[in-house]
Amino acid sequence: MLVNNYSQRIFSLAYQFSGSRVEAEDLTQDIFLKLYNSLSKYDREKNLTAWILTLTRNYLIDQYRKTKWEKKSRDEFDEYRYSADHTSDPERSLVREETKKMIWEGFNRLKPDIRMTIILRDIQGKKYEEIAEIMDLPLGTIKSRVNRGRLQLAKILKEKKEKKNGQ
């Protein structure tokens, strides 16, 4: 069943991309509506998961371009609610949480295509080949986008740390 197999994945992608839970819920509904409408166009010889994720990615980026929701702030990063990082060293854990928060906040500064590539590669842990299929781009372009995205995020992190230490 489509909802059981794909709703969590689509919602996660929408949430990580938009940074807002409310926005992600609306987007997930719209994507499923589009999905039901487009099922007749699905070529059965192709990979269903990749097809659904391509549709999701297209919809998210299109909506982003139409509404420019990057101007809206992302939800507060709730470390207790979402964090899976519980190391024995509380101080180290705190630093990690702080880093995650800074990256989460800086995520909207990435261009949508780069943000999507980083989400697929580094958050969702997909292989480069899978990402190339979903993004419908050559492998080399995907690798270069991942590289650019990571460097941008690292620089944002540096900037935020310097700002914090300067205060």
In the complex, the residues that contact another protein under the rule CB under 8 A are 3, 7-8, 11-12, 15-16, 21, 24-25, 28-29, 32-33, 36, 81-85, 96, 99-100, 103-104, 118, 122-123, 125, 143, 146-147, 150-151, 153-155, 157-158
The nearer residue to another protein, 46 or 151, going by C-beta atoms, is 151
Q: Which amino acid is at 102?
A: M
How near is the Cβ of 44 to another protein at its closest, in Å? 19
| DSSP result, 134-154 | HHT--HHHHHHHHHHHHHHHH
For Cα atoms 152, 153, 157, give the angle at the middle one, nearest 5 degrees. 120
25, 67, 80, 83, 147 from 77: Cα distances, Å: 17, 22, 9, 9, 25
CA 103/CA 154 separation, integer angstroms: 8
The SS3 assignment for 164 reads: helix
Q: Judged by CB, which is closer to another protein: 65, or 80? A: 80
- 69's tokens: 């929701």
The least CB distance from residue 167 to another protein, in Å, is: 19
Closest distance to another protein from the beta carbon of 122 (Å)? 4
Minimal distance, residue 10 CB to another protein, in Å: 9
Looking at beta carbons only, is 45 or 79 nearer to another protein?
Answer: 79
Closer of 11 and 64 to another protein (Cβ): 11
CB of 89 vs another protein, minimal distance in Å: 14
